[in-house]
Structure 1
Amino acid sequence: MAVSTVVPGGRSNKGLSQQIEAYHAWKAAMIREIHHYRSWLESNDLASADIVGRLEHCSDVLREDKVTVALAGEFSRGKTELINALFFASFGQRMLPSHAGRTTMCPTEIFFDEAGSYLRLLPIETRESQVGIAELKLQSKHWHCIPLDGLTPDALKAGLEPLKQTKSVPIAQAVLLGFSLDGLDRDPEKSGHALIPAWRHALISLDNPLLRQGLRILDTPGLNALGSEPELTVSMLPKADAILFILAADTGVTASDMTLWSEHINKSEHKAGRYAILNKIDVLLEDIEGDEHAWRFIDNVREKTALQLKLEPSQIIAMSAKQALIGRTQHDAERVAKSRIDELEALLADQILDRREQLIQDSVMQDVLGMIHNSQAVLRDRRDMLEDRLEKFRASTVSKDFLGDLSAKTQEDYDYYYKQLFTLRSSRRLMKSQAAILNSMIEPQRFDSYVTETKIRLMNAWTTFGMGTAIDDFYTSIEDDLKNLKYEAILAQRMIDSIYKRYTTEARNRHLKPTYLKVDRQIKALESLRQQAKSFKRSPSSLMTEQTIFIKRFLQTLVAEARRLYDEIRHEVALWPQEALMPIFQHTTDQKQMLETQIGRLKELAQSATVGRNQIERIEAMSTDLLHQQKALERIEKKLRRPAPQALRSVVTRLPSVVPVASSR
């Protein structure tokens, strides 16, 4: 008896394609509302350079947001077939090379680029340099480019064939290029030669709906590729939203599978999760003993795999990528259902998109909503003041004293915020001085000096212990800098807290909250990097490699990633002094600007020849205008707070079923 497909979380599965489309549409709606808020600020003369810059940053984060799915596994596990089934079945055939044996020979990234469709291939010989893949991506001269624009599916498929190219080189050269001696495929036609991938890395840009909406795919072919390209493990895989570890259902976790899992996947700090795919269940379901026996075997393999990889059973999917691809290209719904690819798509949508939505809401949306709340507080204060003064004079005789009193009160408020703004500018200059101290602790020259010293020590080391000590000292130097940075950041934060404490003594300012320096993620990543460095130096393949090769790999991967994290920290430190005081600056500037507008209107009224009911009506109109502005902001806020697609699906599926009420007739 076949085991029925269970969609995790009990949600109905609309298909990964539709859910990514919904996620993309949700982000587009958020960008529109951020634009509406900016237009509102500009129409009310409240759009300062700081606020506009922050809103542009939030919009850029949404536009540039990508969902990255990485596939890892040994050769012949069906990774490429799964990519074809998940993302390219609409072409009606296999687009990426996929057949028995080794197909895609090098790590491959698939994405959408506005520049057009292309295949870019990085020659394997670039491993001889100390330049990492990330840096080489910026140097087009090293890449072999094949245009793919305007091709028919057949021509496009042919254009991607170079992905599986190999070349025959002497075994000694293969080792120098970083390949493990044990993992080499010997050339049957040339003694002393081995077959290695012709390419080190591949970039594929295709105009596919899912890719256009921000999906990126990383295909990593086999243990040898991961072991000889540390940048994949140190940098690329940890940045993925999910890693699908592909296994064969008929074998479960083999020794090489376990090595790949423990050395390159399970030790990384990943943003989302890791999932195991038991592929090729169709082979088992064709067993002579029938489906019931096959499903019992598959369930046993699934349970054993969960124990071996220390995953939850819900993180392991048994399926057939081949049957999914055939079913989708032939529009055979029954075959697709039997492949159980829907279960995988539901898992990806639930786990990946849920997390992406939460990250956006916790970061971008909170920033924008905070600015909107400041604007709402300004409008509320101005309207309350007008209503308070109007209430006192509606029942009394109208006189010029009314306008004079209202003007005086408005001018008093204006003077208060003008002085506050002047004081805040002094505070910001003080914060910039503190930021200079913070920046001095992580300046590029310090980092470069650590790299230079470590490189010299590695080259002069005669033992693996000496190399290991040099690496440890490199990370100790970095950690010392970060400890000093955190200490100075605490002092700077106390300064900011004192500024907010002085400013928020009045009830009208108590909603304002400071922004704290956010570098914990980078510090945690650097700590994780040190742990990876320890694993790297203990790796037998690293220690058995010639010293100069070890040094190159170290500089290419671990140091390059540490440098990237250092750059991120410097960027956050540079922005922090301005962002820390932004809520107060926005509130004060908005209040001052709105009061200027009201003073101008009141002066016009005061210059009238007579004072009558029409002046009060005009002041009432000012209050009504503020109310309309409040409602406009409320509409923007309401749209920004609309539930994200995955969260909305969760709510809908939890609603109780409606029981029809019998008619009384």
Structure 2
Amino acid sequence: MAAEYRSIEYRLHEYLVQMQEMLSILEFERSILDCIQDCKELIKNKQYTVAVMGEFKRGKSSLINALLGAKILPADATPTTATINRITYGPEPGAVIAFRDGTSREISIGELEDYVTKKTADGEALALQIKEATIYFPTVICQNHIDIIDTPGLNDDPRMTRITIEMIENVDAVIVPIHARAPFSETEKKFVCQLIESESIQNLVFVVTFLDQLDEDDYEYETFMDYIRRRIQSEVFAELERRSSPESVMEKAHRLLDHLQINGISSAQALESFVTNNRELRRKSRFEPFSDTLLGVVTAKQLENALRKTVTTLGVVAERFDEQNQTRRKALEDGFQALEACRKTVEQYCQDAPQLLETTLSKDSDTLQAMINSFNANKNYIVEEFIKGLSQVRENKHEVILAVLEDTAQRVKDEMHRRCLERETALTEFFRTALLSLQEQERSSLQSVSRLLGEEEQIGFDQTAESMGRFTDIIFHNAVFSCDVPNLFKGQDLARCNVIETVIRAADVSVASYIGELREIVATVGRNWSDQFCAHTSALSVWATEELDRRHESQDLRYKAYLRNYQTFYQSAQDILKNSKSLWEEFESGERL
């Protein structure tokens, strides 16, 4: 039979591979692909998770310690477990605490009690921060990809109960411990019904704990186990009927309970017998028959669980094909709309570009004109410097006056060169600021285009802006200020001229000429910027049109290919589902044999 089971595994794995390839080509949601990948892993390793769940003070932690053959989990007469504790195989004992904030911490087994119990206020506060504790231990039962989960007790406090209930959907089987002195309470009955109604739970194992608290003379073991078995069956079926449970739930209840096997144990005696190697005490604890039964049940159910989950997942995926198709088609159709929106955005921007440039340049035109006109104040400086120099003349001789004029002219020239450079730098900075504003406005206007096409270096005008900036720097530094006063008196006798009047007139002409030159440069910059920006937006329009046409064609091919693939893959998915169900039926018939 093992060979037939192996054949079923291989074929089911092949179906998963085929489904995964189809989903990848169709670009369905990543979460669905992840489900298929999880099933492939499950088929490979048969991972199986068994939780010990029940009311508080039912000996859950003590039961797990006995299964491990060592006192690993804190166990006490009062409820202590405050976290989810996962026991998994590891060559060396150890533990990792996973906190709710995403961090984790490695600890020793000896430190475990400080983290997972609520014996103290500090311990309870720390437990609130813990998502799960994973305990690694070299135990036989966990060696074959089986994890055991220790959970807080039901009816301990609302938070503990919620933690346990939330865990139900993440386990495959549940061990339900029942106290020998209070077998199968009302709460336990309702909890078992909840387990049966859960889609994830496919196996239940009942165990009667604290058998050592009963006087052996007061009961007969087989009769007592049979009484509890019949009580569980009758009360659970009655409760499910009272709830008007659907047929599928009732069928599952019969599958899980009709041939119910119950063991009674003493975890305390079993653990003590392991420590002391007392074989008589071990026999008296009745733990070995339970342990053997549990291991047999769990290992037998590993393959069944993997196959069941896989077939169920394939069914869910096949059912979601139409929903995913609608989502995928909408995404592709939205792609066409996004491309069209990009086209309109670029067209509108290129249409508005001249006005954008004009608005940017004229926004602070008053400031610009003020920066230019304020240069008039230099007239006074020039005249004052020459008057100051001439006031030092003591002889009204041509040669003396000329020497003063030449000396003053050089000093004025140096100072005016500095002032002109300062003014040109300020004007250049003004245009640089305007250029940055223009760049930011384009970047903002075309952000959606850039995001969709992912071609910022193509649609941005950084290179054009750099060229515009270079031109501005160069042309402003070409401006020349000239005030050559001494040459105005060539061929004249300075001793007989009105020197001050000529200096005043020269200062007026020189400053006015320089201001005129600055205004012409500003106008030239505006024309140059307009030409370059116009060329840029024209190139942008051509590039965007070609790129969007190319992408639209590509999107259209993609869309048509998707529609063809979907038609083919939809039928293939239904065939895979049908074949996988046949494999499950083949497995079930083999199990019955």
Greater helix percent: which structure? Answer: 2
TM range (shorter): 0.3 to 0.5
- Of structures 1 and 2, the larger Rg is shown by 2
TM-score, structure 2 length as denominator? Answer: 0.41
